[in-house]
Structure 1
Amino acid sequence: MSVIVWSAVGSLAAWLWLLLGQGFFWRTDVRLPPGREPAPDDWPTVCAVVPARDEAGVLGESLPSLLAQDYPGRAEVFLIDDGSVDGTGALARELAHRHGGLPLTVDSPGEPPAGWTGKLWAVRHGIALARARAPEYLLLTDADIAHAPDSLRRLVASARTGGFDAVSLMARLRVESAWERLVVPAFVYFFAQLYPFRWVGRRGGRTAAAAGGCVLLRAEAAERARIPESIRQAVIDDVALARAVKGGGGHIWLGLAERVDSVRPYPRLSDLWQMVSRSAYAQLRHQPLLLLGTVAGLALVYLAPPLALIAGAAAGDAAAALAGALAWLVMAATYVPMLRYYRQPRWLAPLLPFTAALYLLMTVDSAVRHYRGRGAAWKGRTYARPDAAPEEG
């Protein structure tokens, strides 16, 4: 058998295993579990902590939705201005004055000390302020996340009914530009492939992940896991948070959001490239061998099928063409549910190898930036050698 045939067969075998043995990652039915709402006088106190750095462009769409929560219990919002230069803090106060709703506190912690990322330093400050209210839960949410009016009450009801220490929703990202349609659904698809949502929710399981845009965290679990001090250098802070909570014996849950949306636009490929490349190598713990394995794996699993089909058809190698076609078919079929979730046309599914090639290049670029000393750059800050998320288990 030729190398092309072996590659195609290997890819097909990998896809059959991914289809059946990777926690059914491709299914999109892991949504917020229904929860029984507490009695009218038993709703716990919740404090929302919103780290924000130069977010004036999106705050007008996101913050009013958080302030407008129809939560029956006591809730308060702490927006922590992380050294913004675009008037984020002033705009937040203006929006609160204009729209009303939940009480809002705007404060700033100053520049982060060595060993802290800016976001986690801001989260630390927000949690410290929130502790004065003795909340049972903390809602950690980003400044670009818009919440439906019942978002908080559903999160709390699900957490209480399910006994979860952390409930996280993968916010529905914006898909309006051509590049967003091509890249964004694949981003969530790849994330679910790495961290199957069904495995995340297993008690005693090793898989741990969260989506940093929306995490309802029990305050006691945060203290037990020393959040955020224990993950203060993590660039991929949401996964690090989940691992810390689960490592401390906590029960966590992660699923796709229905009415929690990111309003941040990524209209150009360069915007999406920056989003992925700033943390991709940190995900690989800055290990060259893991990088090589990832590149080889992406090539075999995503690029080999179309190449085998084309090469096999051109060379008259029916076995290579058939194996490549079947692997490509399975790949595309597993991508369709995510496209449906994002309300995108199914004809985008066969383009997944092209999108995977982009992600491969973004990952390599992330490593190149790291070794050039630029590391993870975000809004004027560069973390040259950020620590990767803690090991599982």
Structure 2
Amino acid sequence: MSALVWIALVSLIVWLWLLLGQGFFWRTDQRLPPRAEPGSAELGTWPDVAVVVPARDEAEVLPMSLPSLLAQDYPGRAEIFLVDDGSSDGTGALARSLAERHGGLPLNVVSPGEPEAGWTGKLWALRQGIALARLRDPEYLLLTDADIAHAPDSLRALVAAARGGGFDLVSQMARLRVASGWERLIVPAFVYFFAQLYPFRWINAAKARATAAAGGCVLLRADAAQRARVPDAVRHAVIDDVSVARAVRGSGGRVWLGLADRVDSVRPYPRLGDLWRMVSRSAYAQLRHSPLMLVGTVAGLALVYLAPPLTCLAGLAFDSAGAAWAGGLAWLVMSGTYLPMLRYYRQPLWLAPALPFTALLYLLMTVDSAVQHYRGRGAAWKGRTYARPEAAPEQS
């Protein structure tokens, strides 16, 4: 057989394995338990919760997100701690104004100053917020980003799931904004690739085979955070959500991760450059800054995502039936696994065959992330640059 046929066959075998052997990563059924009927009491006594929101230059999105936290319909005591992380756009003042206008849960706004050496900005802000929250002795901490909007019963559902399932950490991957053409092409694939790397079923199983969380929405038992020394133990992490989950599990805690139904990111990424920066700032950190892993990732993406359409089309062009059939079947399986994510994001299903093009963009973003790292620019975000950021710990 020709090299073209061999490449197509290997790609097909890989896709059949991914379809059946990678934790059914392509399914989108890992969700919080259904919400109870209004007025029913899911828990006898509702625990105290402190909501910690790190915020740096978030004046654009705060009017769409903070009111949703202030309006939480939570039967227990809850309080919000918004940490204004050196903002230059009036984020702190805007937060206070929104609280005065909307009422609801008590809001505390604090400004801790610049991070100490060895800390990433978000984790430094979380440290200050958690330290203040612990003065209230809450049972749970809700760590949520400033661009995340929550349905009124979001906190209630998270606490009920954590208590009911005996979890120390419950995280929901917020539904990201999908409005522009580039967002439609790239955002659903971002979550699809994440789930392929960290299959939710493996994370949520009694004997976990993977560990991760989604940083936009993390409910964490306060005592579990203390045992895991969060956030101090992961203060240097760029991929902070995975690092926090691994620290919690490494200290004996139970972790759950799923897709959100009514927790949404309101941050827009209308242009390709915006999405490019979002992905490339941490892609090389995910590879632990290893040139060998970078080469392997590029080769793997090429074989898994680019080879199916290329071998299929080349087989048709050069009259190689084996390459055309094997490449075409691999492309079909790939597209089929992408359909559930497109449905979750309410996007047209014809985008599924375009996944190889999206994967090519992610390949280029990953290479660019490595290039920026070796230029000393590292993970740049909102005016801060971490020249040699640390990757997530290796233990799972």
Please give the range of the TM-score, normalised by the shorter of the 2 chains: over 0.9
Matching residue of 1:279: 282
Give the aligned CA root-mean-square deviation in angstroms. 1.1
Matching residue of 2:22: 22
User: Which of 246, 250, 254 is the equivalent residue of 2:253?
Assistant: 250
Pairing 1:62-81 to 2, within 5 Å after superposition: 62-81=65-84
How far apart in 2 are the matches of 1:302 and 1:46? 44
Instruction: String of CA shifts for 1:299-337, please: whole Å, max 9, x gaps.
Output: 000000000011111110000000000000000000000
Tell me: CA distance 1:35–1:305, structure 2 relative to 1, closer, same or farther (3 Å).
same
Query: For 1:122, what is the secondary structure of its paired residue?
Result: helix
Which residue identity lines up with residue 5 of structure 1 in the other structure?
A: V
Query: For 2:119, what is the secondary structure of its paired residue?
Result: coil
Matching residue of 1:263: 266
Which residue identity lines up with residue 294 of structure 1 in the other structure?
A: T
Instruction: String of CA shifts for 1:198-230, please: whole Å, max 9, x gaps.
Output: 111123324100000000000010000000000
Which residue identity lines up with residue 113 of structure 1 in the other structure?
A: E
Which residue identity lines up with residue 106 of structure 2 in the other structure?
A: P
How far apart in 2 are the matches of 1:3 and 1:241? 44
Identity of aligned residues (%): 77
How far apart in 1 are the matches of 2:113 and 2:203? 35
2:218 is aligned with 1:215: yes
2:99 is aligned with 1:92: no
Check whether the contact 1:235–1:387 (CA below 8 A) recurs between aligned residues.
yes
More divergent stretch after superposition (146-155 vs 1-10): 1-10
2:118 is aligned with 1:115: yes
Matching residue of 2:330: 327
Shift of 1:34: 4.2
Query: For 1:133, what is the secondary structure of its paired residue?
Result: coil
2:10 is aligned with 1:10: yes
Pairing 1:1-393 to 2, within 5 Å after superposition: 1-34=1-34, 42-393=45-396
Shift of 1:3: 1.3
TM-score by length of 1: 0.99
Check whether the contact 2:42–2:160 (CA below 8 A) recurs between aligned residues.
no
Check whether the contact 1:35–1:162 (CA below 8 A) recurs between aligned residues.
no
Shift of 1:341: 0.2
Check whether the contact 1:35–1:159 (CA below 8 A) recurs between aligned residues.
no
Tell me: CA distance 1:226–1:374, structure 2 relative to 1, closer, same or farther (3 Å).
same
* Matched positions, count: 393
- Detail structure 1 runs of 4+ shifted over 3 Å in the superposition: 34-41
How far apart in 2 are the matches of 1:255 and 1:38? 23
Any gaps of 5 or more consecutive residues in structure 2? none
How far apart in 2 are the matches of 1:145 and 1:4? 46
How far apart in 2 are the matches of 1:245 and 1:204? 15
How far apart in 1 are the matches of 2:2 and 2:122? 51
Check whether the contact 1:34–1:158 (CA below 8 A) recurs between aligned residues.
no
Query: For 1:278, what is the secondary structure of its paired residue?
Result: helix
Shift of 1:385: 0.3
Instruction: String of CA shifts for 1:254-307, please: whole Å, max 9, x gaps.
Output: 000000000000000000000000000000000111000000000000000000
Query: For 2:135, what is the secondary structure of its paired residue?
Result: helix
Query: For 1:57, what is the secondary structure of its paired residue?
Result: coil
How far apart in 2 are the matches of 1:246 and 1:58? 32
Query: For 2:60, what is the secondary structure of its paired residue?
Result: helix
Any gaps of 5 or more consecutive residues in structure 1? none
TM-score by length of 2: 0.98
How far apart in 1 are the matches of 2:390 and 2:47? 35
Tell me: CA distance 1:83–1:309, structure 2 relative to 1, closer, same or farther (3 Å).
same
Which residue identity lines up with residue 52 of structure 2 in the other structure?
A: V
Query: For 2:141, what is the secondary structure of its paired residue?
Result: strand
Which residue identity lines up with residue 250 of structure 1 in the other structure?
A: G
